[in-house]
């Protein structure tokens, strides 16, 4: 719950504000980019929502904030309910963004895939009755794909509730030592029709991407979209091995996909050819002779 007494001076005057407990995770800026911006070491409301759409987005951001740093001077219950009901937020083809990012994963995004042979959760949101009921209505969760060790959050509770199998790579196994399915391979594996697990070590030794339908690539912290610069990015800090990371980025050139759905950073959808151009450009920028980006 945000505290008006801790309201940051960087907020503009008006109903919505960010308080000093913000961990600068970027979630609000992804969900409501017209209202929230990074100012110094925190997010702030730099433009109050001015129409219905922006208001809805601001309430979605308030609910998704992992540490409850976003507040309103006058809460609108019906708008709050509408924002709540919008989660999981459908993106395309049965793939949704869960919302309710968890502080345990530093506010990482998580996603839900509806599939006739069993639904998938990709990384974990906060364990919340609203989401549990929503997943239940959609047929539960059969698999929980953990992109890497940092974004496990409440996966264990969701697995216990739905009898789901957690999938993690052996190299990141310490984050979920009782996971039901451990990936040992270094090469990609088709774990079932339409689902391909692609080990992408670099950020961590056990980072993995999940390719679904050759359309959606779930990337954890391996790759994300920078909407301000309009380019793909990969981590420059908190990297286990830089050379390995570059190989893992390059490896993705062998696959076709339209969506990049990241743990941290923006998501995007581009035509397959354009995505490949963006990926090539990233590989080029990350060559050892170039300045890291
Ligand atoms: S979502 Fe919350 S913690 Fe994350 S940047 Fe926004 S205000 Fe800060």
Helix (H, G, I), strand (E, B) or coil at 114: coil
Residues 6+ apart with CB under 8 A from 163: 140
What is the pLDDT, as a whole number, of residue 290? Answer: 63
Q: What is the DSSP string of 65-108?
A: -TT--EEESS--HHHHHHHHHT-SEEEETTEEE----BGGGTSB
pLDDT per position as a tens digit, 14-39:
999 999 999 999 999 999 999 999 99
For the chain, list the domains and their CATH numbers.
4-84 (3.30.70.20), 92-285 (3.60.15.10)
- CA distance linking residue 73 with residue 277, whole number of Å: 45
Query: What is the pTM for the complete model shown?
Result: 0.96
Q: Collapsing DSSP states into helix, strand and coil, what is residue 115?
A: coil
pLDDT over threshold 80, residue 93: yes
Judged against a pLDDT cut of 90, whether residue 162 lies above it is answered with yes
Shortest-distance atom of ligand 1 to CA 23: 3
pLDDT of residue 55: 98
Residue 119 has pLDDT above 90, yes or no: yes
**Could you tell me the distance, in angstroms and rounded to a whole number, from the CA of residue 165 to the centre of ligand 1?**
30
Q: What is the pLDDT averaged over residues 270-281? A: 98
Q: What is the pLDDT of residue 292?
A: 53
Mean of pLDDT values over 130-136: 98
**Ligand 1 mean position to 61 CA, how many Å?**
8
**Helices 272-285 and 242-251: angle between axes, nearest 10 degrees:** 160
Closest CA to ligand 1's atom 4: 25
Which residue's CA is minimally distant from atom 6 of ligand 1? 28
Q: Is the pLDDT of residue 214 over 60?
A: yes
Q: Is the pLDDT of residue 89 over 90?
A: yes
Please write the tens of the pLDDT for every residue from 45-79.
Answer: 999 999 999 999 999 999 999 999 999 999 899 99
pLDDT at 217 over 90: yes
């Amino acid at each position: 719950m945000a505290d008006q007494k801790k309201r940051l001076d960087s907020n503009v005057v008006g109903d919505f504000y960010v308080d000093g407990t913000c961990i600068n995770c970027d979630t609000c800026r992804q969900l409501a980019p017209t209202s929230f911006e990074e100012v110094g070491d925190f997010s702030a409301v730099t433009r109050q929502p001015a129409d219905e759409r922006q208001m809805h987005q601001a309430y979605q951001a308030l609910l998704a904030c992992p540490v409850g740093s976003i507040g309103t001077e006058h809460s609108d219950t019906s708008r709050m309910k509408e924002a709540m009901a919008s989660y999981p937020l459908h993106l395309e083809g049965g793939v949704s963004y869960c919302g309710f990012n968890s502080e345990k994963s530093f506010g990482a995004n998580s996603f839900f895939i509806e599939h006739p042979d069993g639904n998938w959760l990709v990384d974990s949101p906060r364990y919340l009755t609203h989401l549990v009921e929503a997943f239940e209505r959609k047929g539960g969760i059969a698999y929980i794909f953990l992109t890497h060790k940092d974004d496990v959050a409440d996966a264990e509770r969701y697995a216990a509730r739905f009898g789901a199998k957690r999938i993690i790579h052996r190299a990141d196994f310490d984050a979920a030592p009782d996971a039901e399915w451990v990936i040992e391979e270094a090469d990609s594996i088709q774990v079932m029709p339409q689902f391909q697990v692609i080990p992408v070590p670099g950020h961590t030794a056990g980072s993995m991407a999940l390719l679904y339908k050759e359309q959606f690539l779930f990337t954890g912290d391996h790759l994300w979209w920078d909407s301000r610069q309009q380019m793909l990015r990969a981590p420059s800090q908190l990297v286990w091995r830089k050379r390995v990371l570059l190989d893992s980025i390059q490896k993705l050139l062998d696959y076709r996909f339209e969506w990049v759905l990241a743990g941290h950073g923006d998501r995007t959808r581009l035509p397959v050819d354009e995505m490949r151009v963006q990926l090539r450009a990233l590989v080029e920028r990350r060559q050892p002779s170039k300045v890291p980006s």
